[in-house]
Structure 1
Amino acid sequence: MTLDIITSDLLSPLRHGFFARKGGASSGVFEGLNCGYGSSDQHEAVTINRTRVAEAMGAPIKALQGVHQTHSAKVLTVDGPVDDPEGPRPEADGIVTATPGIVVSVLTADCQPVLFADPRAGVVGAAHAGWKGALGGVLEATVDAMEALGAERQDIVAVIGPSISQRAYEVGPEFFENFMAEDPAYGRFFANGEGDRFLFDLPGFGLYRLRSAGVGQAEWTRHCTYSDPARFYSYRRTTHERQADYGRLISAIRL
């Protein structure tokens, strides 16, 4: 079955994609292209799905590199394939490479998947940026890691893929206060909700952090994971619907 791959002109002609649910081997609540071994999905189905992603990226499964995501600002630099594509990964939330043929990827289910590229220098990266990682500096750390490989900050383009949108991201007063304690200017990313609740603009915040970091261009694909269950997995939607588990979307880029 044909995969549903969202791309951006900013990242072209590099091969990349924000992969939606269509075309996977998983069933039940994971129906579609669930690429997360951390889910309770059948291991074999996830392996089939990840193999299909690697093939779509024009690479063998061993070239598909990822990290064990912990909502940190840690970034991993990779320069070759893995020995065991199904084995454990180092803890990080960003991954970069300057090695042609290596596919760097992140998994998400509402958090921001961000793909980076400096085609002139031959450096690419990917970051998993939920509110905690974005506030903690994972986007800036990914840019720094790319610079260490020879990228020029002003030549880096960054694209935020399908993420939870502001209209679906209700948060409480403590969440709001955490951001205000960091910088009162962050109030611009919150709208009033019902009662003491707020609506948080995660992609807007991500774009602000990217542009403040000095990247050349940054954009969001404007797809909301929460609002389109047929196309995307969503942790928050799964929680609201009291489902047992949820799938993970994969986003990837290569030189």
Structure 2
Amino acid sequence: MTELWQWQVVQDQPTLVCDLLRPWPHGFFTRHGWPQIPESLTDILDDQASVHRVKQVHGHQVLTANQAQTVTHGPRPEADGLTSDAPGQALWVCTADCNPVLIGDRATGKTAAIHAGWRGTAQGILPLTVRQMQAQGSRLEDLVIAIGPAIAGDVYQVSVAVAAQVGRTIAALADIQANEEVPDQTVVDSLQDLGGTPILADPEPGKARLDVRQVNWWQLQQLGISADQVAIAPHCTFQEPERFFSYRRTGKKQVQWSGIVSR
């Protein structure tokens, strides 16, 4: 669904936007936004919006925007997902190979922003966020979801243990047991036999290639989300150094920000 993504330049900032999220001010920013922070980037989206972000810890905690009030001094609450609970809230996550995911609810105008690396994906942070939105009144059929630039599966080598840990969240689609008694290699081999699998073979023993973007999409399918509700950005942070920071490529802690404003 490449046609759903466009680049636009606002205030000299190249920003990737997704047609599914057109009703909401939003953007997946690039390395060219560094070292700006959400407090300044929000002005590009909506200069009247309040700013909400958290201390990301590669977990599965999801907070409401009011639980993550703008903090100018002191520590921010630890979480990796945010949901809006009022209009005019700018929700932000930062990434440098992990998946930035932005969600909009077409009926209520509510939004969510999620940081989903392999650890958060293994803990099901995206389905947890969707369920939290449902608990706040959203319906599955009203949600639209954009998975932004992240490292692509064909260049993301991980251990078989990591691939299996993430793969167990979608093991039901391979008709295999997800419990820990099934050997990691069996889980990985079974998933590799599926068409369009997010778990790819690697020539090095004990390794696999993992497409975390596609795992998140498969998790959404298990919830009942349809393909026309989801868009995956056709950009790889590792392979496009002119646009994106990549921790796997450089080992440096530099990030790009992704944000969306609730209606």
The reply to whether TM is greater than 0.5 is yes
Structure-2 residue corresponding to 1:30: none
Structure-1 residue corresponding to 2:254: 247
SS in 2 for 1:7: strand
* Aligned-partner Cα distance in 2 for 1:207–1:146: 17
TM-score (norm 1): 0.81
* Aligned-partner Cα distance in 1 for 2:230–2:76: 28
Q: Which sections of structure 1, spanning at least 5 residues, go unmatched?
A: 25-32, 35-45, 240-244
* Aligned-partner Cα distance in 2 for 1:60–1:176: 42
* Aligned-partner Cα distance in 2 for 1:98–1:108: 23
Moved more, 180-189 or 156-165: 180-189
* Aligned-partner Cα distance in 2 for 1:60–1:85: 17
Matched, 1:232 2:244: yes
**Deviation (angstroms), 1:179:** 4.1
**Deviation (angstroms), 1:163:** 0.3
Does the C-alpha gap of structure 1 residues 91 and 84 become closer, same or farther in structure 2, counting only changes over 3 Å?
closer
Does the C-alpha gap of structure 1 residues 59 and 148 become closer, same or farther in structure 2, counting only changes over 3 Å?
farther
Q: Verify the 8 A CA contact 1:203 1:220 in the aligned structure 2.
A: yes
> Which letter does structure 1 place at the counterpart of 2:260?
I
TM-score (norm 2): 0.79
Structure-1 residue corresponding to 2:203: 194
* Aligned-partner Cα distance in 1 for 2:225–2:109: 15
Structure-2 residue corresponding to 1:40: none
Structure-2 residue corresponding to 1:206: 216
Aligned alpha-carbon RMSD (Å): 2.1
Matched, 1:146 2:126: no
Does the C-alpha gap of structure 1 residues 87 and 231 become closer, same or farther in structure 2, counting only changes over 3 Å?
farther
Identity over the aligned pairs, expressed in percent?
Answer: 33
Q: Verify the 8 A CA contact 2:48 2:88 in the aligned structure 1.
A: no
**Deviation (angstroms), 1:7:** 0.6
Structure-2 residue corresponding to 1:43: none
* Aligned-partner Cα distance in 1 for 2:83–2:155: 30
**Deviation (angstroms), 1:81:** 8.3
Of 122, 129, 148 in structure 1, the residue corresponding to residue 109 of structure 2 is 122
Superimposed CA distance per residue, residues 83-121 of structure 1 (whole angstroms, 9 cap, x where no aligned partner): 533542111111001311110111111000000010211
Structure-2 residue corresponding to 1:102: 89
Superimposed CA distance per residue, residues 181-229 of structure 1 (whole angstroms, 9 cap, x where no aligned partner): 5524644322222221321111111111122222351120111000111
Structure-2 residue corresponding to 1:113: 100
Moved more, 185-194 or 165-174: 185-194
Q: Verify the 8 A CA contact 1:110 1:235 in the aligned structure 2.
A: yes
* Aligned-partner Cα distance in 1 for 2:242–2:31: 8
Structure-2 residue corresponding to 1:54: 42
SS in 1 for 2:41: helix
Structure-2 residue corresponding to 1:75: 62
> Which letter does structure 2 place at the counterpart of 1:52?
S
* Aligned-partner Cα distance in 2 for 1:177–1:211: 19
Q: Verify the 8 A CA contact 2:118 2:166 in the aligned structure 1.
A: no
* Aligned-partner Cα distance in 1 for 2:97–2:20: 22
Q: Verify the 8 A CA contact 1:158 1:219 in the aligned structure 2.
A: yes
Structure-1 residue corresponding to 2:182: none
> Which letter does structure 1 place at the counterpart of 2:238?
Y
> Which letter does structure 1 place at the counterpart of 2:124?
G
Q: Which sections of structure 2, spanning at least 5 residues, go unmatched?
A: 1-10, 172-186
Q: Verify the 8 A CA contact 2:104 2:111 in the aligned structure 1.
A: yes
SS in 1 for 2:128: helix
Does the C-alpha gap of structure 1 residues 131 and 52 become closer, same or farther in structure 2, counting only changes over 3 Å?
same
